[in-house]
Amino acid sequence: MAKEQEHLRKPEWLKIKINTNKSYNRLKNLMRDKKLNTVCEEARCPNIHECWSERKTATFMILGDTCTRGCRFCAVKTGLPNELDWDEPQRVAESVQIMGLKHVVVTSVARDDLKDGGAAVFAETVRQIRKLAPGCTVEILPSDMKGDYESLHTLMDSAPDIFNHNIETVRRLTKRVRAIAMYDRSLELLRRVKEIAPNTPTKSSIMVGLGETKEEVIQVMDDLRANNVDIMTIGQYLQPTKKHLNVERYYHPDEFDELREIAMTKGFTHCEAGPLVRSSYHADEQVNKTAAQRRIKYMQGYEETNNEILNKVNF
């Protein structure tokens, strides 16, 4: 890469307003107390303050904090994974309950060392959240589990409100950007989810700024729609460290608006596109009507009860 690309200056529209209010600090302290990981922190998400402070949503990262893959865009550490923690689903659910979250995304590091890719722990986490926090909708964001579709059935048996799997980049750049993952395998995973659970919204995300063309991004849209994906998010790639891939260019907000409009004409039910958009950005707005109605039904009494719990907890 040319030297000037390594120091490509961020434009004004990528400045982030920090809002570390009481709600944010409570959730952060709770994560430490429960010995939990969030992708919000591990992947250095630029929206962490908005989601934690204002929207009462969070993305939990289960199955440890060490990924068996080494994708060249991701800040999550890689190496030998930890032992499975079967108490983790309960701790995640307790945290969701205490904080009165209205929507939660459950993702994980890739666990290629496990036969099921961690599907059983994923499913148990969803069930525990349903048990302790019925007013919270749940989105899952697993890896491709290396194409183990028996494990996919294990995941879908837990009945998530949204199934999310990120394709990350265009076909041409997949080998350079993603480790082990395959473009067509991701598409097949998303297609099979719809075959198992036709009414469950499916979702995928792409980063831009890695050297793709507009035509290639549009092709990703077509490929996702051909596999019945309902929701798409498009965000700017931001280089986590100097060891990661360089940003080739920064897209202007107007370009994101145009991409969103194109996506909606393709038939997506929802598309979030913007410089700071990430896969779980405004995820609470993307559940289908049935899930949203269930959340509304429980939420008032749920929030009143958990405010009482929260006031008794010292973080």
40 annotated as a binding-site residue: yes
pLDDT for res 103: 87
CA distance 189 to 167: 10
51 annotated as a binding-site residue: yes
- State pTM to two decimals: 0.83
Q: What is the pLDDT of residues 105-142, one digit of tens each?
A: 999 888 989 989 999 999 999 999 999 999 889 999 99
pLDDT for res 6: 52
For 255-280, the three-class secondary structure string (H helix, E strand, C coil) is HHHHHHHHHHHHCCCEEEEECCCCCC
| 194-224: burial string, b at 16+ Cβ within 10 Å, e else | beebeebbbbbbbbbbbbbeeebbeebbebb
pLDDT for res 185: 96
pLDDT at residue 302 tops 60: no
- Which amino acid, 142? P
CA distance 98 to 112: 32
Work out the mean pLDDT of the chain and round it to a whole number.
82
280 annotated as a binding-site residue: yes
136 annotated as a binding-site residue: no
Q: What is the pLDDT of residues 46-66, one digit of tens each?
A: 555 555 555 467 788 899 888
CA distance 109 to 114: 12
pLDDT for res 1: 42
| 252-261: burial string, b at 16+ Cβ within 10 Å, e else | eeebbeebbe
The predicted model gives 193-214 an average pLDDT of: 96
271 annotated as a binding-site residue: no
- Which amino acid, 76? V
Q: Which of 63-67, 175-179, 277-281 has the lowest mean pLDDT?
A: 277-281
Residue bearing the bigger pLDDT, 287 or 248 = 248
**In the numeric block, which tokens belong to residue 103?**
């929507």
